[in-house]
Structure 1
Amino acid sequence: MAGTVSAGSDTFVRWTTGFLDAPSRAAEEFWRDVTGSGLSSRRGAGGEFATLLPAGGDAYLRVQVVGDGPARAHLDLHVERVAAQARRVVGLGAVVVHEEGGLAVLRSPAGLLFCLVSWQGEVVRPVPAAWPGGRSLVDQWCLDIPGAVFEAEADFWAAVTGWPRRPASRPEFEILVRPDGMPLRLLLQRIGGPVSGMHPDVAADDRDAEVRRHVELGAAVVRTEAAWTTLRDPAGRSYCVTDRDPVTGRLG
């Protein structure tokens, strides 16, 4: 069943949107097919923005053509008062990159780009899409954080969202506990390299069948781990298909 967001008074984020950024539209059809979504009309001065429209529930994934590469991902946090929340987030250590009405583009202390945008009343989390091999859903955004700055960056994101930190299934991971109905869980991953990044994760009933489906649509397998497979989409963006249940979010 679709969930409705329940946010307490100490939760600043009302909704989350994952953005898939690329220098061209090369992977837009891929992500539309992977998620079983429609594609909205294009927006922006150059038609650079479009929304992936789920079969049910409120939209939470968007695509954007950017002027430079490589293909990457960023996160939009939907809040009720953008300017006030931007001031709060800057006080926590973020840097403002750009501001205009209803939008603030910021960079975290570890260099992760994200946006604060005006909440438009989204509350209903989309349900997983059903395929011959089972169900799947983009349900997680992974923040890849260098180990040297992990603790400070994890504290930053917990303070920005108001979501508590919790240990995950492996020592290199932590999660931020999202409110019920929030479409994207945030996974914090310690990495060995010096450059921070973000990538989407797809939860699937049957990982092997889901990976085969993605490969048929144009993805390439990078490596396979015990509980997830890393792939690259047609634009070269890395992402993962995981064994997490697409309904409950629990690791199978």
Structure 2
Amino acid sequence: MTARSVLVGDVSGWWEASLRAVWCPGEVAEGVGGVVIVRWVTGFLDSPSREAEPFWEAVTGWSLSSRRAGGRFATLVPGRGDACLRVQVVGEGPARAHLDLHVDDIGAAAERVMGLGADAVADLGDVLVLRSPAGIVFCLVSWQGERVRPAGGDSVVDQLCLDVPAAVYEPEVEFWSAVTGWPVRATDLPEFSYLQRPAGMGLRLLLQRVGGAAAGVHVDFACTDVDAEVARHVGCGAEVVRRVPGDWTTLRDPLGREYCVTGRRPLST
């Protein structure tokens, strides 16, 4: 039995309803085993409405593409480089984020990723929805040639932070390193580690040890001046949640989705 053949039925909740509406099923070649080569990473902003989309256009400085899939799906297009952030209207549930891994062969990648401990959520034809051992939902999609990191200025969408409950943090870090093939690197703060992305990759993956029981994903900006960048975001409609002087500030977008502005320099490795 292949990984694709078990990704059927037994799917419930907002993921099935929203993703089936957004993605058009198609035939994708199956494969077996092997190493997953992650060609690109995309962050997705999943929202119950379009209300926050003008906000994300403003804070990223990127333009919203024409809509697809009946108006539910669009891409934030940078002025230079390949897109790494998209929006979709899910119709229910709170505003949140997830990540897509772009690969050459979805079937072969699914076989490998499920062998590492991921669970099947849904097979939508040209997208496979999976869940990591800690409960982080992610998708496997076909690589479309993305290879150029978006250009940065005073700020840029820099990384996706995977929020992982402390009790399962170490095995989850190992899982994501094995899935991507990217080595784990320590940071100055013990609650964080990151995966060293290849040169040119649009988004870095940061993993954060959190005290709660629920795993999730949020977007991080890098910038040259945290205070000035936070003020800009607040002027666009964000709300400050928490400040960590010298490191980062957590904010909420107009739909209540949390994200961070960090002191990492734009276009850091």
TM-score (norm 2): 0.85
Matches within 5 A, 1:157-196: 157-196=176-215
Contact 1:11 1:163 in 2 (8 A): no
1:122 alignment partner in structure 2: 146
State the shift of 1:99 in Å: 1.3
Matching residue within 87, 90, 96 for 1:63: 87
Aligned length: 235
- Counterpart AA for 1:31: W
Residue 4 of structure 1: aligned partner: none
Structure 1 residue 183: Cα displacement = 0.6
Distance 1:85 1:11 in 2: 5
Post-superposition offset of 1:67: 2.4
SS in 2 for 1:211: helix
Q: CA RMSD in A?
A: 1.2
Equivalent residue number for residue 3 of structure 1: none
Which 5+ residue runs of structure 1 have no aligned equivalent? 1-8, 130-134
Distance in 1 of aligned mates of 2:130 and 2:68: 21
Residue 217 of structure 2 aligns with an amino acid whose one-letter code is M
- Native 8 Å contact 2:103 2:140 kept in 1: yes
Deviations 1:53-109 (A, max 9, x none): 100111111001112221100000000000110111011111111113331110111
After superposition, the Cα gap between the structure-2 partners of 1:178 and 1:10, relative to the gap in structure 1 and judged at 3 Å, is: farther
**Partner Cα distance (1:247, 1:107) in 2:** 29
Correspondence for 2:30: none
Question: Do residues 246 (structure 1) and 266 (structure 2) align?
Answer: yes
Letter in 1 for 2:200: G
1:187-221 Cα shifts (integer Å, max 9, x gaps): 00000110001100000001111111100000000
4+ long deviations beyond 6 Å: none
Q: Write the distance in 2 (CA, Å) between the matches of 1:52 and 1:118.
A: 18
Please report the TM-score for the alignment, with normalisation by the length of structure 1: 0.91
Partners of 2:218 and 2:259 within 8 A in 1: yes
Taking only the aligned residue pairs, the percentage that are identical comes to 64
Q: Which structure's residues are more often strand, by fraction?
A: 1
Query: Residues 94-139 of structure 1, C-alpha deviation per residue, up to 9 Å, x if partnerless?
Result: 111111333111011111000000000111001114xxxxx10011
Structure 2 gaps of 5+ residues are 1-33
- Are 1:17 and 2:42 counterparts? yes
